[in-house]
Amino acid sequence: MSNVRFPNETAAYRAAREQLLEEETALRKQVEKVAALRRRLPAGGEVKEDYVFDDEDGEVRFSELFLTGNSLVAYSYMFGPKMKAPCPMCTAFLDALDGNALHIGQRVNLVVIARSPIERILKFAHERGWKNLHLLSSANNTYNRDYHGEDEKGSQVPMLNVFTKKGGVIRHFYATELAFGSGDEGQDPRHIDPMWPLWNVLDVTPEGRGTDWYPKLSY
């Protein structure tokens, strides 16, 4: 039970709020339980190869991305060479991630990988105002296909993968596989929602996130 009270609230409001508070507490405990299970995952498969990417400074190998600690978070950005523009949903997510990248970088390594040539990626990033994301092009390797950022037809897929490095060996650790789960009928997988401020803010409002609104590249 909460001791917090707000001006002019009714007994009915307080009773409903206390019931919701119990559910929020249970949800927090479940989130913590899932995070603990995730941390206890056994070692995943060794990375297929030491992929060579392009970034703003030239070529960089996968093994060279581990600068801060032994974990690497890699987001596959839906921005392929055949796409006229990048995915608006991915872009909205990266808008938020760019603001947090400096903080994340104090603990782990973070990169964003897209199939478009690096020049195209950097041009869009500049137009978008991104300053903190380490952007990589996988135009000349098979990373996207190997780690499910691209399907067998070459269509781009939003995917977040985590890798670990121990004793010089890099292994896959985790992926947001909810993106591929069957889920409930009519339910979006929401595989990266817990990391996405946009939906979390909308979810605490009476309007909620809605069922037919999605972010755009411009408004």
For the entire predicted model, the pTM comes to 0.91
Whether 56 and 149 map to the same domain: the answer is yes
Q: What's 137's domain CATH number?
A: 3.40.30.10
Q: Is 97 exposed, middle or buried (0-12, 13-18, 19+ CB in 10 A)?
A: buried
Residue 1: the pLDDT is 77
Whether 15 and 90 map to the same domain: the answer is no
Whether 117 and 17 map to the same domain: the answer is no
Cβ neighbors of 53 (< 8 A, separation 6 or more) are 59, 60, 61, 62, 113, 136, 137, 138, 141, 143
Is 85 contained in some domain?
yes
Domain that holds residue 34: 10-40
Tens-digit pLDDT profile for residues 40-78:
999 899 999 999 999 999 999 999 999 999 999 999 999
Whether 73 and 145 map to the same domain: the answer is yes
End-to-end CA distance of the chain: 42
Whether 29 and 64 map to the same domain: the answer is no
Dihedral (CA of 74, 78, 84, 85) sign: negative
Whether 169 and 82 map to the same domain: the answer is yes
Whether 62 and 170 map to the same domain: the answer is yes
Q: Three-state secondary structure along the chain?
A: CCCCCCCCCCHHHHHHHHHHHHHHHHHHHHHHHHHHHHHCCCCCCECCCCCEEEECCEEEEHHHHCCCCCEEEEEECCCCCCCCCCCHHHHHHHHHHHHHHHHHCCCCEEEEEECCCHHHHHHHHHHHCCCCCCEEECCCCCHHHHCCCECCCCCECCEEEEEEEECCEEEEEEECHHHHCCCCCCCCCCCCHHHCHHHHHHCCCCCCCCCCCCCCCCC
Whether 36 and 89 map to the same domain: the answer is no
Is 64 contained in some domain?
yes
Number of domains in the chain: 2
Tens-digit pLDDT profile for residues 131-145:
999 999 999 999 999
Whether 80 and 170 map to the same domain: the answer is yes
Tens-digit pLDDT profile for residues 154-210:
999 999 999 999 999 999 999 998 888 756 666 667 788 888 888 888 889 999 988
Is 24 contained in some domain?
yes
